[in-house]
Homo-oligomer: A and B are copies of this chain.
Amino acid sequence: MTQWPLPLPMQRALSAARSAAAAGEVPIGAVIVKDGVVIAEAHNTPRTDHDPTAHAEMRAIRAAAKTLADERLTGCELWVTLEPCAMCAGAIAHARIARLYYAASDPKGGAVEHGARVFDQPQTLHRPEIYTGIGEAEAAAMLRAFFRERR
């Protein structure tokens, strides 16, 4: 039996999530791709940076926008290991991310298919195409292991 390989950007997002765990941060990783090229990659750093906004998605979006010298990431894809929260979903809309791919869903903190459902609001400025469940098992296992160790 051969496991179908994960798309490369999600492999890199999962690898970023592993780096977060190693640094004592919640294991979440994100990657931004434009025209098939990774232009930003980040993991969660709120504790390390004393920054409540330093989620993986936010850091990747900010880095990509700096690289492109543009506040809009038109045509870009965001790959992330967990369903984005309201803050990150809002940033994804502001940045005009074209496609959002996430691994595990997050009933507690997610705001895409749960809670605030940011992209389903009629007032939303922008709704990306959304693909879920890619690498879900691995992303969820990493989060469970992280919180189990800290209990």
Contact = CB atoms under 8 A, between A and B. Distances in A.
B111 A86 contact: yes
A111 B125 CA distance: 12
A90 B94 contact: no
Nearest to A114: B123
State the copy count for this chain: 2
A70 interface: yes
Contacts of A90: 85-90, 111, 116
Interface of A: 46-47, 49-54, 58, 61-62, 65-66, 68-73, 85-91, 93-96, 107-109, 111, 114-118, 121-125
Contacts of A111: 86, 90, 116, 118, 121
A52 B72 contact: yes
Nearest to A96: B52
Given A49-B71, A115-B123, 6 more contacts: A85-B94, A86-B87, A86-B90, A86-B118, A90-B116, A115-B124
A53 B47 contact: no
A54 to B, nearest CB: 8
B91 A52 contact: yes
A124 to B, nearest CB: 7
B50 A66 contact: yes
Contacts of A88: 87, 90
